[in-house]
Amino acid sequence: MTCDDASMMRWSRQILFGDVDAMFASAAVLADPSLAGKPVAVGGSSPRGIIAAASYAARAFGVHSAMPTGEATRLCPQLILIPPDRPLYRRLHEQMQAVTDQLFPLTEWSSIDEFYADTTQLQTRYPDPRSLGQLAKDALYDATGLRCTIAVATGKTVAKIAADSHKPDGLVVVPPGTEEAFLAQRPLRALPGIGPKTAARLEPLGLKTIGELLDQRWDQPLRHIFGARLHWVRELARGIDHEPVVADRESKSLSHETTFEQDRHDRPFLEQTLRGFLRDLARDLRQEGLAAGSCTVKLKNARFAITTKQHRFSHPLNYDPDMWPTVQQALRELIRPSTEYRLAGLALSSLTPAPPGLFDQKRTKAIQAMDALITKHGSSVIGLGGVSQDDE
Ligand SMILES: [Mg+2]
Q: pLDDT tens across 233-287, in order?
A: 999 999 999 888 877 544 467 888 888 888 898 899 999 999 999 999 998 888 7
Q: Domain check: are 369 and 269 in the same one?
A: yes
Query: How far does residue 161's CA lie from ligand 1's centre (Å)?
Result: 13
Alpha helices in the chain (DSSP H): 3-8, 23-31, 56-59, 69-75, 86-103, 129-144, 156-164, 179-184, 196-202, 219-226, 230-237, 267-288, 320-334, 361-377, 379-383
Q: Domain check: are 187 and 269 in the same one?
A: no
The pLDDT of residue 39 is above 80: yes
Query: How far does residue 363's CA lie from ligand 1's centre (Å)?
Result: 37
Report the chain's mean pLDDT, rounded to a whole number: 86
Domain stop point among 86, 108, 139: 86
- CB-proximal residues (5 Å) to ion ligand 1: 19-20, 113
| Alpha-carbon gap, residue 267 to 269, rounded angstroms | 5
Query: How far does residue 283's CA lie from ligand 1's centre (Å)?
Result: 23
| Alpha-carbon gap, residue 172 to 150, rounded angstroms | 6
3 state SS of 168: coil
| Alpha-carbon gap, residue 113 to 119, rounded angstroms | 19
Q: Domain check: are 268 and 365 in the same one?
A: yes
Query: How far does residue 158's CA lie from ligand 1's centre (Å)?
Result: 16
Cis peptide preceding 168, ω within 30 of 0: yes
The residue segments making up the domain with residue 259 are 253-383
Q: Domain check: are 260 and 373 in the same one?
A: yes
Q: pLDDT tens across 343-381, in order?
A: 999 999 877 767 665 544 445 666 666 666 666 554 443
Query: How far does residue 74's CA lie from ligand 1's centre (Å)?
Result: 25
Q: Domain check: are 186 and 308 in the same one?
A: no
204-213, 277-286, 289-298, 353-362: which range is least confident on average? 353-362
Q: Domain check: are 281 and 185 in the same one?
A: no
pLDDT tier at 44 (50, 70, 90 boundaries)? confident
pLDDT tier at 5 (50, 70, 90 boundaries)? low
Q: Domain check: are 264 and 373 in the same one?
A: yes
Answering whether pTM is above 0.75, one says no
Q: Domain check: are 258 and 376 in the same one?
A: yes
| Alpha-carbon gap, residue 389 to 18, rounded angstroms | 13
Query: How far does residue 144's CA lie from ligand 1's centre (Å)?
Result: 14
Share of the chain above pLDDT 90, in %: 57
Cis peptide preceding 321, ω within 30 of 0: no
Number of structural domains the chain divides into: 3
The pLDDT of residue 94 is above 80: yes
- Catalytic residue annotation: 114
Q: Is 326 part of a structural domain of the chain?
A: yes
Q: Is 49 part of a structural domain of the chain?
A: yes
Query: How far does residue 329's CA lie from ligand 1's centre (Å)?
Result: 33
The pLDDT of residue 207 is above 50: yes
Q: In sequence order, which residues have a C-beta less than 8 Å from that of residue 371 and are 6 or more positions away?
A: 283, 286, 287
Q: Domain check: are 257 and 204 in the same one?
A: no
**What separation in angstroms does the CA of 8 have from each of 59, 123, 147?**
36, 9, 25
3 state SS of 81: strand
Query: How far does residue 197's CA lie from ligand 1's centre (Å)?
Result: 24
Q: Domain check: are 287 and 353 in the same one?
A: yes
Q: Is 205 part of a structural domain of the chain?
A: yes
Query: How far does residue 263's CA lie from ligand 1's centre (Å)?
Result: 23
| Alpha-carbon gap, residue 266 to 166, rounded angstroms | 36
| Alpha-carbon gap, residue 332 to 347, rounded angstroms | 16
Q: pLDDT tens across 164-193, in order?
A: 999 999 999 999 999 999 999 999 999 988
Query: How far does residue 78's CA lie from ligand 1's centre (Å)?
Result: 24
